[in-house]
Amino acid sequence: MADGDHQGKQPGSDGNKGDKKATKQDAKSKGGKKGKKAHGGPAGATTGGATDVPASPPAKRRVVLTGISSRAWEHPADRGALTALRELRGFDEVLKAIAGLWNERAWRLQFLGGSIKVDHRQYPRLHRLYAEAATSLDVTELPELYVQNDRSLNAMAVGMKQPFIVVNTGMIELADDDELRCLLGHELGHVLSGHAVYRTMIIVLTNAMLRMAWFPIGAMVLYGIIAALYEWWRKAELSADRAGLLACQDPAASLRLSMKLAGGGDLSEVDTTAFLEQAAEFERAGDLRDSVLKLLMVAFRSHPMPVARAAEIRRWLDSGAYQRILAGEYPLREDDATASMTEDVKQAADSYRESFTRSEDPLFKLLRRVGDGATDLGAWVGSGAGKVKDWMSAAGRSARDAAGGAPNGHDDQR
């Protein structure tokens, strides 16, 4: 629990007065419902017109997800990647070293001295939305929330013993109330899932990698751990996106947030359907070269591409899981201690298998054909290597041509 004005307060004291919490027995009965069907489409149907920007529905009472466990929103690939990460050689040593190097008190003091600490007097609108998001997720002890003067579109949850949340002014200026509620729920999801510890590891390791060259496990192992951390982080973002949706309970706001992250705040000329079609195009576009480029492009990227995040939320909505949770069918945090790790790994494997089967990425499609015996792998490797060689040669010629056309050694930028 964080120190400060949020300590001991009931979230929702500024916006959800009168909410009666269900008893623990009620939560158990909710969590045990089986086969309850969700009726109708998600809230926030798109508006008509040329741009088809999703509009939020009229304000309604949000469901308090009493006693909900973070397992309800955690993406199976998130749990699987984290399990694999913990099994990496040297991971425990790195975690212990980071715990010794990381000065959480100094970071908190830095934000306390250089940012705005949010409460009912400072950024009261943001404080109210934060409390409302926390109420939906049944969080009674709010982590400290800070606003820092930064126009980049970002927010983060960091810390090991007492995680806290930081939101950039750029996000506050960009997002409306529904989208901010979604954003704050996203960051709360990170905290509740225990992501902040490993996210802190990424920040410290990437900022101090050169200074840690002396580390006994070796630079290559450390490099591998950082790459694995980034792979997990991207999966963890998918989990937090689901938590954000459960906090705001407004699918339209969740989609709009991804659209704004991709193209800025003006959605008057953005089409929701086209944006989701763009996500499908990104996944299936091009040939094997594009598949390799996409892998390299995201290798050390903390977040999935905005179009991919929107598509993943759309798939979660279409699966009915979101509606089932709102109807009361979800695991309880009081049962977390007895939850099966084996089941988590199985679900992760199933998730990767389903993603592999569904993917329209050229590399995945080829591997499926190889698995089905429809393609000779040796022939493919030979022809593929030739294609890559030709591609690299062409790229090299293009680079030389460009250099020749730029006098005095200056790049010809356009």
Residue range 344-371: average pLDDT? Answer: 49
> Which residues are tagged catalytic?
187
Q: What is the pLDDT of residues 224-256, one digit of tens each?
A: 777 777 888 888 999 999 999 999 999 999 999
For the ranges 19-33, 117-131, 208-222, 342-356, which has the lowest average pLDDT? 19-33
Measured between alpha carbons, how far is residue 174 from residues 156, 167, 252, 262 in Å? 16, 12, 16, 12
The confidence score (pLDDT) of residue 301 equals 79
Q: What is the pLDDT of residues 33-79, one digit of tens each?
A: 333 333 333 333 333 333 455 666 656 789 999 999 999 999 988 88
Maximum average pLDDT range among 3-17, 60-74, 76-90: 60-74
3-state SS class at 408: helix
**Nearest in space to 167 (alpha carbons), one of 185, 181, 155:** 155
The confidence score (pLDDT) of residue 53 equals 54
Band (101; pLDDT cuts 50, 70, 90):
low
Percent of the chain with pLDDT over 70: 58
Supply the pTM of this predicted model.
0.68
For the ranges 120-124, 183-187, 297-301, 347-351, which has the lowest average pLDDT? 347-351
Q: How do the domains of the chain map onto residue ranges?
A: 58-265+302-336, 374-404
Band (171; pLDDT cuts 50, 70, 90):
very high
Please say if the pLDDT value at position 146 is more than 60: yes
The alpha carbon of residue 135 and the mean position of all alpha carbons in its chain are separated, in whole angstroms, by: 21
Residue type (1 letter), 334? E
For the ranges 5-19, 92-106, 234-248, which has the lowest average pLDDT? 5-19
148: CB partners within 8 A, 6+ apart: 111, 114, 115, 116, 166, 167, 168, 169
109: CB partners within 8 A, 6+ apart: none
- More confident site: 75 or 347: 75
Go through the chain and tell me how many residues it has: 414
The confidence score (pLDDT) of residue 9 equals 37
Residue type (1 letter), 153? L
Q: What is the pLDDT of residues 173-199, one digit of tens each?
A: 999 999 999 999 999 999 999 888 888
**Nearest in space to 196 (alpha carbons), one of 156, 244, 146, 142:** 156
The confidence score (pLDDT) of residue 217 equals 55
- More confident site: 324 or 283: 324
The confidence score (pLDDT) of residue 33 equals 39
3-state SS class at 183: helix
- More confident site: 285 or 402: 285
**Nearest in space to 234 (alpha carbons), one of 298, 304, 183:** 304
**Nearest in space to 254 (alpha carbons), one of 268, 269, 266, 238:** 238
For the ranges 21-30, 218-227, 306-315, 358-367, which has the lowest average pLDDT? 21-30
- Measured in degrees and rounded to the nearest 5, phi and psi for residue 274 equal -65, -35
Please say if the pLDDT value at position 105 is more than 90: no
Query: Contact at 8 Å (CB) between 76 and 348?
Result: yes
The confidence score (pLDDT) of residue 386 equals 44
**Nearest in space to 121 (alpha carbons), one of 231, 205, 244, 14:** 14
Please say if the pLDDT value at position 18 is more than 50: no
172: CB partners within 8 A, 6+ apart: 123, 126, 147, 180
The confidence score (pLDDT) of residue 395 equals 39
CA atoms within 13 A on the CB side of 247: 34
The alpha carbon of residue 372 and the mean position of all alpha carbons in its chain are separated, in whole angstroms, by: 33
In the sheet with 145-148, reading across from the earlier edge strand, the strands are 116-117, 145-148, 164-168, 155-158
Measured between alpha carbons, how far is residue 364 from residues 93, 236, 371, 376, 392 in Å? 35, 22, 10, 15, 22
CA atoms within 13 A on the CB side of 346: 5
